[in-house]
Structure 1
Amino acid sequence: MELNVSTASQGGHTVVTATGELDLYTAPRLQTALAGVLHDDIERIVVDLSGVDFCDSTGMNVLLSAMRRATECGGSFALAAPRTAVRRILQVTGLDTVFTVVDAVPVLGAG
């Protein structure tokens, strides 16, 4: 299965949308997209996981690394709308207490 990744930015806020399966073979695509938006003037990154059907440990490590980098740059990092399977992985691994997980994807330009 493929992983499609797109980004949308406005000001210092970026939404990275992933769709498909996030695993050993597709994680580099997400890693590249996140590396492209992680910079010193980033305020907030939200990764939209609403279209991700599966995520393995490689995918989680990519997300953890991006969160660490965002925090080092003084920004915030959140996961949005993970499906049940991905949410379960977050809970089983305890990462639901490490990541900020929100139920809805923020709309850029709103509020």
Structure 2
Amino acid sequence: MPLPPLNIYRHDRRTRALITLAGEIDLETAPLMRAALERCLRDGMRTIDVDLTPVTFCDCSGLNAFIEAFLRSTAAGGTLRLHYPPPMLVRMIDLTGCGSVLMGLPAVPGPDLLQDPLSPVLVPLPVACSGTLRRIAPAVSGGAL
């Protein structure tokens, strides 16, 4: 059974990029996402916002790719932030303690996060990144990278 595709859209404004991911992020599609995030850095983007609103699934390979992208963007003097992650990714971020790194959350969770750790964390996207998105990568179905 083929996996649902992952679509990647990118909108640039000066040195800021908004990447919108739609579909599933897993072992088969994480390399495509990783390449898109690395391309942002090569293109001179220093602030990368990743909108995860349309993501239906993300496993640990996706989380690993986000952490790697964060480390690379930080090494290049930039930032990477995740916005509107799906509940399963919020849970993995909570379990690994990397919310302060990936989502700009306080290092010590506040009372809101302690009440319901499975509720999605809503971090608003910057207004500067709103606008029309262009698709930068074709849909990838299971195994066809």
Change beyond 3 A, Cα 1:109–1:15: closer
Structure 2 counterpart of 1:108, one-letter code: A
**In the alignment, does 2:124 pair up with 1:104?**
yes
Aligned-residue CA RMSD (Å): 1.9
Aligned partner of 2:54 among 37, 51, 55: 51
Aligned partner of 2:40 among 19, 37, 45: 37
Structure 1: gaps spanning 5 or more residues = none
Distance in structure 1 (CA, Å) of the matches to 2:123 and 2:72: 23
1:23-102, aligned counterparts within 5 Å? 23-39=26-42, 41-101=44-104
Contact 1:41 1:73 in 2 (8 A): no
Structure 1 counterpart of 2:56, one-letter code: D
Contact 2:11 2:129 in 1 (8 A): no
Q: Which has the higher contact order (CA 8 A, sep 6+)?
A: 2
Distance in structure 2 (CA, Å) of the matches to 1:34 and 1:10: 15
1:57-79 superposed Cα distances (whole Å, 9 cap, x missing partner): 11111111111111011111100
Distance in structure 2 (CA, Å) of the matches to 1:109 and 1:99: 18
Q: How many residues align?
A: 110
Structure 2 counterpart of 1:31, one-letter code: R
Distance in structure 1 (CA, Å) of the matches to 2:128 and 2:55: 21
Normalized against structure 1, the TM-score is what?
Answer: 0.87
Structure 2: gaps spanning 5 or more residues = 105-121, 131-145
Distance in structure 1 (CA, Å) of the matches to 2:129 and 2:29: 30
Q: Which structure is larger by alpha-carbon Rg, 1 or 2?
A: 2
Normalized against structure 2, the TM-score is what?
Answer: 0.68
Q: What's the CA shift for 1:104?
A: 2.0
Please identify which structure carries the higher strand content: 1
